[in-house]
Amino acid sequence: MKKPINTQHGQHCATTCEHCALVDICLPVGLSAEDLVTIESVVQKSIAVKSGEAIVQAGQHFKSVFAVKSGSFKSTAHTQLGKEQVVGFSLAGEMFGFDAIASQRYAFSVIALEDSLVCELPFSDILTVAAQVPKLQTHLFVTMSQNLNSMQAIGLQSTADERLANFLLNLSARLARRGMSATQIHLSMPRQDIANCLGLATETISRLLTKLQKKSVIKIDGRDILILDLRLLQKISCGEVV
């Protein structure tokens, strides 16, 4: 793993929320021009993060939350045996870092799965602005709730078939929230990371994806997944179909 980025001196890019394609996802709808300017004032910078690079590391002092402008990330922890445990993924238009609010230290390392771009939002400044813009305060609570639900969406007590089906449905729902197709999924994460996150072997993930394709539930093209039968995938996730 590469060393974490120094966000004070990393590669920065100009940021304008008003002209960002993800503004309706990252920020609440219906903001006035004045509110938007106020929010933009606390977005310190956009940071370019190369694939394999950590934007924050577990145990690092909490300062900011981050919004993914492009690309994707995985959040990881280390087991008592020192092995990496993937605990979740963050996609474009989503935010991460809220896990550190209580302890004031990041609980997970967050690593880019591909060349990515994030907007850094110092949390103390966000709280100040949220007090001035009630819609933003509500939006932050919703975002934190969605992050928690995403982390808890995959039950490790379920069968391997159910875990993978739930994983695909979770990605589908998150894409739909971004206004994208709920049936066309690009897996930016390697199958090894998916397997790690779901508590399965990499070979099991490959076998189950092939099984779903043979049942005409999905169509696989490299890392691109097309969901052909969403209702059947939902039934599999509930254990109604093997």
The domains located in the chain, with CATH, are: 12-152 (2.60.120.10), 160-237 (1.10.10.10)
φ, ψ of residue 229 to 5 degrees: the values are -135, 90
Residue 151's pLDDT band (cuts 50, 70, 90): low
Q: How many CB atoms lie within 10 A of CB 149?
A: 12
**Does position 4 have pLDDT exceeding 60, yes or no?**
no
Report the alpha-carbon distance of residue 188 to residue 74 in Å, rounded.
10
- Phi, psi (degrees; rounded to nearest 5) at 111: -120, 135
Mean pLDDT for all residues in the chain? 83
Query: Does 106 have pLDDT greater than 90?
Result: yes
Q: What's residue 1's pLDDT?
A: 46
pLDDT of residue 98: 86
pTM: 0.81
pLDDT of 10 > 50? The answer is no
User: 128 - beta bridge partners?
Assistant: none
